[in-house]
Structure 1
Amino acid sequence: MESNVVPPPQSFRDRVPIADSTGERRWLYPRAQSGRFTRWRTVVAWVLLAALFAGPFIWIDGHPLFLFNVMERKFIFFGATFWPQDFHLVAIGLLTFITFVALFTVVYGRVWCGWACPQTIFMEMVFRKIEHLIEGDYKARQRLDAGPWTPEKVLKKSLKHGVFFLISFIISNTFLAYIIGRDEWVKLITDNPTEHLAGLSAMLIFTAVFYLVFAKLREIVCSTICPYGRLQGVLLDKSSLVVAYDYIRGEPRGKKERAASPAQPESWNAVTEALKLKAGAAPTAPAMAPRAKGDCVDCKLCVQVCPMGIDIRNGTQLECINCTLCIDACDQIMDKIERPRGLIRIDSLNGIEKGKPTRFSGRMAAYTGVLLALIGVLVYLMVSRTALEVTVLRAPGQLYQREAGNLVSNLYLVELVNKSYDARTVQFRITNPDAKLRFVQPITKAPANELAKGTFFILLPESSIQMASTPLQIEVLSDGEVVDKVKTTFLGPMK
């Protein structure tokens, strides 16, 4: 069976799409496109943008919905407070998220990059649209960049980069509000700037980083800097759903031609062939029927709209972010030439080559099993998490001290984290009947959502010490109920 695959040009993949033959940066000018997928992406993008900018300012019962206070090591997710003592929950949550993204990549390809990644959303739905509004469509932008520095060009470039910097400043402020909280952020922007030079400097640094990303780096972030883009080549297989070109249907590509003139009658051909044979001429070799062209008219619209500068007809590539712009562009052409949509569509390689629908494979089942197990562990740990968590550590650099009455003492440091939004009274009780607690810096109340520190001695009669390290257990009570149990050791003299 003759294959419809047309080999790519010799220069295919000998350089990245954003570089020319000399290795210099090739600036991309994606063409604006509309269509059903673009409309859905726009809706999703604006919902995510609204959630991002509103997140730090949504408070429930006087508490933020989200907070990532790295300086104070305090994190709030959906109203629940997490401290460094809950780092294992954060680690498991990150593993769950990574597995979730990997599973989605195995099944749905790089859908995260094209539909939910902040880099893509800001670049394509905010900065690119502003650029189009100020400088014009893709051809106008090309002419503007290639032309001399006229007053019009200076005005447009200054306006565009000024708006870019302003939006970068707004993004920086939003992320800062996530870190320090709404109230501290309001205080920062309303007070005298000279009193918050460190915060202002950090804000300007992040603004410069965001401006550099969206004004200069752009697609380099997705193709070179982002590690997830590199991982997709490992995660994808022939059953993964990706944005794919149906080369079986589309090749050989070419412009559609008018119908040829009717062929000569069969009787006339027979007479002509008989005269040739009578004259001693060699018989005419049978003419090969010209191969029918595929549905691809080689309009290159799919290449013009691609924000990564690739040609999807060359197959799945590292740079493809599954933005589906090429699908909308191709569907538009198919409508014009009255051919079915879907020459470029979301499908698997098996679906293109063999017409097989995507099925739930063993690999997908394995990822799903791991994901469900991680979610189960995370839910269990979240449900079983106590509101009060106590850490008791022996004071560094000290062993034991002898005191009056044949007593031996050890000094301990205690940290108590109240993860709830209500202040609670606390008491400490040691389970060993021979041991006594003597507080130097007592803790009787745990403030809401804060960390309290204290210091105490544990005293044991020397006669009751049977080993160099005696295990002890301390109970923490709140409102007469044991809420936590802490194990520690007591160091004493050897007998």
Structure 2
Amino acid sequence: MANHKLDFRDKPINLNERGGRKWVYAKKPSGKWFTRRTIFSYFMLLFFAGAPFIRIKGNPLILLDVANQKFIIFGAIFWAQDTFILALLMLSFVLFIVLFTVTFGRLWCGWACPQTIFLEMVFRKIEYLIEGDYRARHKLDNSPWTTNKIFKKTLKHGIFILISIAMTNTFLMWFIGSDGWVELITSPVQENWSGFIVMLLVSAFFYWVYSFFREQICTMVCPYGRMQGVLLDSKTIMVTYDYRRGEPRGASGNGDCTDCKQCISVCPTGIDIRNGTQLECINCTACIDQCNKIMHVTGKAPGLIRYASEASITGGHTKIWNARNRAYSMVLLIIFSFFVYTLVTRPVIETTILRTPGLLYQDHEKAISNVYNIKIVNKTHNEMPLEIKLISHNGNIRMAGNKMTIKDQGMFESTFLLFIPKDEIKSDKTEVEFGIYSNNELIETYKTTFVGP
């Protein structure tokens, strides 16, 4: 970047010299890449809002029921007992993010992150509609409080509040399901004050983030931007300024960059992409569209700012795959394959049988008895009639209740007495094994202890 002085920053771009907030007034973007991103964002918004209503065999597409320790992810049901499988799924997701970042940079941030989608495609568009483009908004914010300003600010923030409440209720359905949400909002408020207050607090948080905090979530809070420092390399594809072609910049220079600073004017985080990769860059492509417009006006080829890697600019390296992302891909494939294997081979039910705490054995005339608590989780979509038998010893089981039938994805909990003849008790602690049967077919076994004299 010859003949051009770079400013090396030691603070976020949206802070002034005294450490105060410097508001970013981004110009309304437009162009080929913005149109693509808009279409993709609308599909993502439909997914966020519609996922709780989509059903697979009667179950929501995604349900994160933390209270009941039940999780449904793309139709697959996970319970608290499936912690290991969930851990494999989360590890696979983290590795996918790492692989994706190593290969394509912060493409997630600019295209699929809910923070970016809601801010750029919902809240900013409303702001543009009511207050105008960046110059009009800057003028309005710095003007005295007139009737026109009060009307526009009240209208904008009123709509922002309504959208924040709608967002809270939408994401609430991801945790309690659409049916639970309908039941919640149709119940009198006095019956669920705690839930109502939580809804207001979360809505207030969303309103504060998208009305005031905005891009600072990406530049100061989100750790993903700081991960770039260890994940990106010279072969990573990201939004990049071609300095070999653009420098020296300016109208009198020989480079293609006219130094018009239009790429800065549209950046939602306010950075100068010409200064290289920065943690604030979310790869939103607004600067690509704006620069291509200037190139068209000046009669120069587009692509001065484009998706490219440092290696492709300096040496013409255009291959996406290299040893690093191949290694990540292999590890991801192994772990995800292990996840699929454990998911497919997991038992259809999950049984837990434990001696009732605080109770000793009972001595009968010819037998010894222990009291047990039993919990069985049905991981299938079918109702299952069950029967429990002692398969390690001769014994008798007396269940509290006559039927052991579990509804699809349901849970059965009960208590039973186990009687074992005295002549089969050889020590004060004996290992016993139970069999869980469905339609006379053994589907699971469970071992526990039996205490005696």
Q: TM-score under structure 2 normalisation?
A: 0.96
Number of aligned residues: 453
The one-letter amino acid of 1:420's match is: T
Matching residue of 1:308 = 269
Q: What SS class does the counterpart of residue 302 from structure 1 fall into?
A: helix
Q: What SS class does the counterpart of residue 206 from structure 1 fall into?
A: helix
Q: Deviations for 1:126-178, whole angstroms, at most 9, x for unmatched residues?
A: 10010000000000000001111111111111111100000011111111122
Matching residue of 1:232 = 228
Matching residue of 2:242 = 246
Q: Deviations for 1:412-454, whole angstroms, at most 9, x for unmatched residues?
A: 2110111223321100111113333232456521122221101
Is 1:409 the counterpart of 2:369 in the alignment?
Answer: yes
Structure 2 unaligned blocks of 5 or more: none
The one-letter amino acid of 2:372's match is: Y
Matching residue of 2:164 = 168
Q: Deviations for 1:357-384, whole angstroms, at most 9, x for unmatched residues?
A: 2342221111101110121011111211
Matching residue of 1:486 = 446
Q: CA deviation at 1:468?
A: 4.2
The one-letter amino acid of 1:40's match is: R
- Equivalent residue runs for 1:459-474 within 5 Å: 459-474=419-434
Distance 1:152 1:484, change over 3 A: same
Q: What SS class does the counterpart of residue 371 from structure 1 fall into?
A: helix
Distance 1:359 1:78, change over 3 A: closer
Q: What SS class does the counterpart of residue 181 from structure 1 fall into?
A: helix
The one-letter amino acid of 2:281's match is: C
CA–CA separation in structure 2 for the residues paired with 1:323 and 1:435: 69
CA–CA separation in structure 2 for the residues paired with 1:392 and 1:229: 47
Q: What SS class does the counterpart of residue 377 from structure 2 fall into?
A: strand
Contact 1:424 1:448 in 2 (8 A): yes
- Equivalent residue runs for 1:174-193 within 5 Å: 174-193=170-189
CA–CA separation in structure 1 for the residues paired with 2:403 and 2:287: 64
Identity over the aligned pairs, expressed in percent?
45
Matching residue of 1:272 = none
- Equivalent residue runs for 1:6-25 within 5 Å: 6-9=4-7, 12-25=8-21
Matching residue of 2:409 = 449
Q: CA deviation at 1:7?
A: 4.2
- Equivalent residue runs for 1:331-346 within 5 Å: 331-346=292-307
Q: CA deviation at 1:124?
A: 0.4
- Equivalent residue runs for 1:83-162 within 5 Å: 83-162=79-158
Matching residue of 2:47 = 51
CA–CA separation in structure 2 for the residues paired with 1:234 and 1:464: 63
Is 1:374 the counterpart of 2:374 in the alignment?
Answer: no
Matching residue of 1:210 = 206
Matching residue of 1:432 = 392
Distance 1:359 1:43, change over 3 A: closer
CA–CA separation in structure 1 for the residues paired with 2:327 and 2:3: 34
The one-letter amino acid of 2:62's match is: F
Contact 1:442 1:455 in 2 (8 A): no
Distance 1:444 1:143, change over 3 A: same
Q: Deviations for 1:237-276, whole angstroms, at most 9, x for unmatched residues?
A: 11111111111111111114xxxxxxxxxxxxxxxxxxxx
Q: Deviations for 1:207-230, whole angstroms, at most 9, x for unmatched residues?
A: 111111111111111112112222
Is 1:475 the counterpart of 2:435 in the alignment?
Answer: yes
The one-letter amino acid of 1:158's match is: T
Matching residue of 1:318 = 279
Counterpart selection for 1:347 from 296, 301, 308: 308
Larger radius of gyration: 1
Matching residue of 1:458 = 418
Q: CA deviation at 1:471?
A: 2.3
Comparing 357-366 with 202-211, greater Cα deviation is found at: 357-366
Matching residue of 2:354 = 393
Q: CA deviation at 1:79?
A: 2.5
CA–CA separation in structure 2 for the residues paired with 1:379 and 1:61: 20
Q: Deviations for 1:23-66, whole angstroms, at most 9, x for unmatched residues?
A: 11000110012111111100110001011111112234433222
Contact 1:33 1:305 in 2 (8 A): yes
Is 1:198 the counterpart of 2:194 in the alignment?
Answer: yes
Structure 1 unaligned blocks of 5 or more: 257-291
CA–CA separation in structure 1 for the residues paired with 2:154 and 2:63: 36
- Equivalent residue runs for 1:68-79 within 5 Å: 68-79=64-75
Matching residue of 1:329 = 290
Contact 1:348 1:358 in 2 (8 A): no
The one-letter amino acid of 2:21's match is: R
Q: CA deviation at 1:14?
A: 2.4
Comparing 103-112 with 232-241, greater Cα deviation is found at: 232-241
Is 1:423 the counterpart of 2:395 in the alignment?
Answer: no
CA–CA separation in structure 2 for the residues paired with 1:443 and 1:228: 52
Q: CA deviation at 1:186?
A: 1.6
Q: CA deviation at 1:458?
A: 2.6
CA–CA separation in structure 1 for the residues paired with 2:51 and 2:451: 50
Q: CA deviation at 1:5?
A: 7.3
Q: What SS class does the counterpart of residue 67 from structure 1 fall into?
A: strand
Q: TM-score under structure 1 normalisation?
A: 0.88
CA–CA separation in structure 2 for the residues paired with 1:473 and 1:7: 77
Q: CA deviation at 1:337?
A: 1.0
Comparing 376-385 with 189-198, greater Cα deviation is found at: 189-198
Q: What SS class does the counterpart of residue 449 from structure 1 fall into?
A: coil
Is 1:220 the counterpart of 2:180 in the alignment?
Answer: no
The one-letter amino acid of 1:479's match is: N
